[in-house]
DNA sequence: GCCAACGTTGGC
DNA sequence: GCCAACGTTGGC
């Protein structure tokens, strides 16, 4: 069982949207490293931190759970989608998505500022490479973020 | 809205 | 297969 962190821009899709819908397709990931994590390592039952990016206070805001493992992202075949990829075919899909379900909203959001300042959080990719949109979270870092949310 | 950092593309 | 140019992300 693994832990993850996924980014979303709340203007486009927020934790509140996920809460309202219950379950959603986490699609539109167009970064190879992020895709590989989803395709190779993400499993049903894994816990997922939802992180709000490109907003006033970037922060981890809630928790979701993987309810369907990686499958081809339908948007890559859809010419009308902004995620359309002409190099992807049904035989050889390039991108994958997963389904995730809402679990909870943190009592207090844990801000990027807090995370960066916290020396107990050691591995989290968010601290360094700012651009990865799906990243693994160690058990220790997961626990530390949970404790900051109390 | 700016700009640094980083990923991707494409010419050689 | 290298690397410069370009595009995108995302914090500030």
State the nearest residue by CA to the C1' of C8: A131
Q: Which nucleotides of B are covered by protein (CB under 7 A)?
A: 5-8
Decide: A29 and A97 in contact? Cβ < 8 Å. Answer: yes
Which nucleotide has the least CA–C1' distance to A85?
A: B8
For residue A21, report the phi and psi dihedrals to the nearest 5 degrees. -80, -25
Sheet (strand A23-26) strand order: A23-26, A96-111, A59-72, A47-52, A3-8, A134-137
Which nucleotide has the least CA–C1' distance to A31?
A: B7
Strand C: residues with CB below 7 A? A 7, 9, 30, 53-55, 58, 112-113, 116, 130-133
Using one digit for the tens of pLDDT, what is the confidence trace for A26-47? 999 999 999 999 999 999 999 9
**Average of per-residue pLDDT across A113-127:** 91
pTM of this prediction? Answer: 0.93
**Average of per-residue pLDDT across A77-95:** 87
**Average of per-residue pLDDT across A7-22:** 96
Residue A41 in 3-state DSSP?
helix
Indicate if the pLDDT at residue A111 is higher than 90.
Answer: yes
Decide: A99 and A25 in contact? Cβ < 8 Å. Answer: yes
Q: Please state which CATH number belongs to domain A3-148.
A: 3.10.590.10
The reply to whether A129 Cβ lies less than 7 angstroms from strand B is yes
Indicate if the pLDDT at residue A113 is higher than 80.
Answer: yes
State the nearest residue by CA to the C1' of C11: A54
d(CA A104, CA A47): 11
């Amino acid at each position: 069982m693994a832990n993850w962190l996924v980014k979303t821009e709340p203007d486009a899709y927020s934790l509140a949207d996920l809460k309202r819908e219950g379950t959603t397709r986490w699609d539109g990931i167009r970064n190879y490293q992020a895709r590989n994590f989803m395709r190779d390592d993400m499993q049903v039952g894994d816990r997922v931190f939802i992180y709000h990016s490109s907003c006033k206070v970037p922060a981890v805001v809630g928790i979701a759970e993987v309810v369907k493992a990686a499958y081809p992202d339908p948007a890559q075949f859809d010419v009308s989608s902004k995620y359309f990829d002409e190099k992807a075919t049904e035989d050889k899909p390039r991108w994958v998505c997963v389904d995730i379900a809402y679990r909870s909203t943190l009592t207090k959001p844990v801000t990027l500022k807090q995370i960066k300042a916290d020396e107990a959080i050691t591995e989290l990719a968010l601290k360094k490479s700012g651009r990865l949109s799906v990243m693994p979270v160690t058990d220790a870092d997961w626990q530390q973020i949970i404790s900051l949310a109390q």
